[in-house]
Structure 1
């Protein structure tokens, strides 16, 4: 009998303890929920949609945007958007920054058109906006930028020779802008891309403009110089400058070959010792 009373007492204490625990858990959960901040109004929210186009046209303009990078070299002019703009179409542009679903206020931009357009109606343009960012850690010594592939170019042997020579010279990454190439070359470049040596950037410039296959507008016509070559080379500089110590601009049929050194790094080490202030 005494054991039965003792057991009932223990069960009663267990029930009371469980009830108190559940009550405290409910209060804690309720208070935690109340601590969340109220959502921002619709005018301060932005969607997280990102354009999947390599060359998204800028609405209500004759301009094409290419990419945006943080430029840490000039204080106060940090965000640089590379684009292709119509020469005779000038209008003020503003930037809105979307971060974690929150939309910033509109800020004015500075538009810098490059001088080299070779007479074509479209020109490489930088849109600069003040927005502080963080520097990217450099992880490459050398990056090579190869200008546009177009016309179903398919010289596999030439590409393989050039890429392997650059690998021997100490190049870490080769960036290639591809409008069109042949099927065999595409398979080769995909193989290099999978191992991380080549970075392929789609460049469908022909969908938006009539690219010229020549250097001068007076001789070749078209909207933009040589499939937008000046834009791709500028884009590659900003794509690579924060992650690579040196950036080389080259064509696939040209190789920067040191003749007194076994690789590019030893050449640059010597040049840096000769010119320590550069």
Structure 2
């Protein structure tokens, strides 16, 4: 075989470069963009809980460093499912130097048929360690003169010490909700059970409830996150797309529940996920701390605890009128102490659950169970803990005699009633 000439060797070398080296360089370029720039003015930080992703129909909500996964910042987002195109993460540090990298998008599996879905935009790579602010872009080419809005990166420091033991996440207030009496009773009941923090996402509420919210904020137990989702989308008032229509499930309930978990990841040992008219009530134990101490000893591998929901129809009143107090007559809302009758289980109907979770064990959640998590899921027995849910009946044809009497709330009346009065008086809703 003849030796290759110089020209032939050059051609072969060029071919090797094209076949092997250039594709590797191109792949690396898609992994880590060399785009680096300096912002010439102050970082434009978002001042709202919902921020449009420029050049797209999508929205970003908040950004969190996820210490459980290698080099990941997780941005809680709202993604339009049929309009997903490549997205990019823009990382900036305190010196206002920024880098751009490709984003991964993980849309949650529960969307109930709605066009917009709760999602995680995942930003990975070496740039995240210095990033104090982050945003999502539809392009990888960005200059220092852009007007993009950034989110602060939260949870940058991991901790094993928690400010609160128990935090309740209430997903949404909407429709000028004004159920003052039930809200005050629920808040005071949770305080007696050992809750130190309540987080509420507020789209709209009535004027009386607003006064009560202000009281609990002054007291320090309540954090109100303004959630103006109706200014950005047409949110659905229900969970079923075929029935309720709209852009997004139930005023963005799935988005706010996930946001609340990450917001409290290193703030609270446990997080309770339930609605405004529900109380996760221990029956076998006197308080939530005692309940969880026993459950964690019995189920050391569990990080998600499912609690059965049980309906107490607001149409059925207890006969004695013991808690029909004149002071409360003119207050808007339901007096839950008057409703002590519980609907029976139906064998062929699914009994939904709400949750007590260790937030560091949860990756994604839906309403009644988690979607992705670490560790085990444990369904708490009915006689140990269940939800007291005072609302319209699901089995409206049942008579009072067909319901079960359940006076668990009455066991707290000595502290509950005066505490409710005190909260209402301090809110200027109840005259002394």
Q: Does 1:135 align with 2:130?
A: no
Q: Does 1:195 align with 2:208?
A: no
**C-alpha separation in 2, matches of 1:105 and 1:252:** 42
Q: Does 1:111 align with 2:135?
A: no
Structure 1 residue runs of 4+, over 3 Å off?
Answer: none
**C-alpha separation in 1, matches of 2:103 and 2:279:** 38
Greater relative contact order structure (CA < 8 Å, 6+ sep)? 1
Q: For the Cα contact (< 8 Å) 1:179–1:205, is it kept in 2?
A: yes
Per the alignment, residue 84 of structure 1 pairs with 78
Per the alignment, residue 55 of structure 1 pairs with 50
Q: Secondary structure at the match of 1:153?
A: coil
Q: Does 1:276 align with 2:300?
A: yes
**C-alpha separation in 1, matches of 2:270 and 2:296:** 12
* Residue segments in structure 2 that go unaligned for 5+ positions in a row: 1-35, 130-155, 303-432
Q: 1:71 aligns with which of 62, 66, 70?
A: 66
Q: Does 1:177 align with 2:177?
A: no
Q: For the Cα contact (< 8 Å) 1:48–1:101, is it kept in 2?
A: no
Q: Does 1:232 align with 2:256?
A: yes
Q: Secondary structure at the match of 1:187?
A: helix
Q: Deviations over 1:213-245 (max 9, x none)?
A: 111111111101110111111111111122111
Superposition RMSD in Å:
1.4
**C-alpha separation in 2, matches of 1:229 and 1:188:** 22
CA shift at 1:253, angstroms? Answer: 1.1
85-94 vs 99-108, which moves further: 99-108
* Closer, same or farther: CA 43–241 of 1 in aligned 2, 3 Å: closer
CA shift at 1:53, angstroms? Answer: 2.0
Q: 2:272 aligns with which of 234, 248, 254?
A: 248
Q: Deviations over 1:17-76 (max 9, x none)?
A: xxxxxxxxxxxxxxxxxxxxxxxxx93235322121221111000001111112112223
**C-alpha separation in 1, matches of 2:272 and 2:38:** 42
**C-alpha separation in 1, matches of 2:120 and 2:204:** 26
**C-alpha separation in 1, matches of 2:111 and 2:247:** 10
**C-alpha separation in 2, matches of 1:80 and 1:196:** 28
Q: For the Cα contact (< 8 Å) 2:37–2:98, is it kept in 1?
A: no
Q: Which has the higher helix share?
A: 1
CA shift at 1:261, angstroms? Answer: 1.1
TM-score under structure 2 length normalisation: 0.53
**C-alpha separation in 1, matches of 2:250 and 2:270:** 25
Q: Deviations over 1:106-163 (max 9, x none)?
A: 0222100001111110000101112244215521101100121000000110110111
| Aligned length in residues | 236
Per the alignment, residue 237 of structure 2 pairs with 213
Q: For the Cα contact (< 8 Å) 2:57–2:79, is it kept in 1?
A: yes
* Residue segments in structure 1 that go unaligned for 5+ positions in a row: 1-41
Q: For the Cα contact (< 8 Å) 2:234–2:248, is it kept in 1?
A: yes
Per the alignment, residue 3 of structure 1 pairs with none
Q: Which has the higher strand share?
A: 2
CA shift at 1:268, angstroms? Answer: 0.6
**C-alpha separation in 2, matches of 1:213 and 1:51:** 27
Q: Deviations over 1:157-192 (max 9, x none)?
A: 011011111111111110000000001101100111
TM-score under structure 1 length normalisation: 0.82
